[in-house]
Amino acid sequence: MGAYWKLVTPQLSAGPLGGATNMLIILFEVMDKEPTIFFVWCIAIVLGVGGFFLSNYKYQFIVLVLPIALFIAFGLLREIHDEFVGPAILREAGVGYVIQNYLAILIMTSLPIIGAIRKYSQVHRLTRRSS
């Protein structure tokens, strides 16, 4: 068991400051694990615009699109509001990254809802006129 433990644990005593240099490297690498803003915008546009057209085609498709958008939005918000990761994101990527994440979340969740409301009102306006 002792030999296995030495294999899986990193050696933090390297460098002139001991383990402090490795810990600093670990602290400043939060954005390596976060999605790029380009990727967030691509997902937001695909879900938002695609969800708008799907739910505008049939408003029942909101049941398929909105849970996916909310799942992704929850994941982004969970990372931004984490007590350890959130401040590191602000420090490394800046406020612009956080604001753009919020805007992307707004687009990917609101456009499918707008499309569904639009289609629902069209369908029910037509049924009221015909009856």
- Per-residue pLDDT, 22: 52
- Write down the residue that tokens 């939060």 correspond to: 30
Residue with more model confidence, 65 or 131: 65
Give 126's contacts (C-beta < 8 A, 6+ positions apart).
none
- Per-residue pLDDT, 7: 44
Using CA atoms, how far apart are residues 20 and 27, in angstroms rounded to an integer? 10
What is the pLDDT confidence band of residue 1, given thresholds at 50, 70 and 90? very low
- Per-residue pLDDT, 65: 94
Note whether 51 and 115 are within 8 A (CB). Answer: yes
pLDDT of 23 strictly over 70: no
Using CA atoms, how far apart are residues 31 and 54, in angstroms rounded to an integer? 33
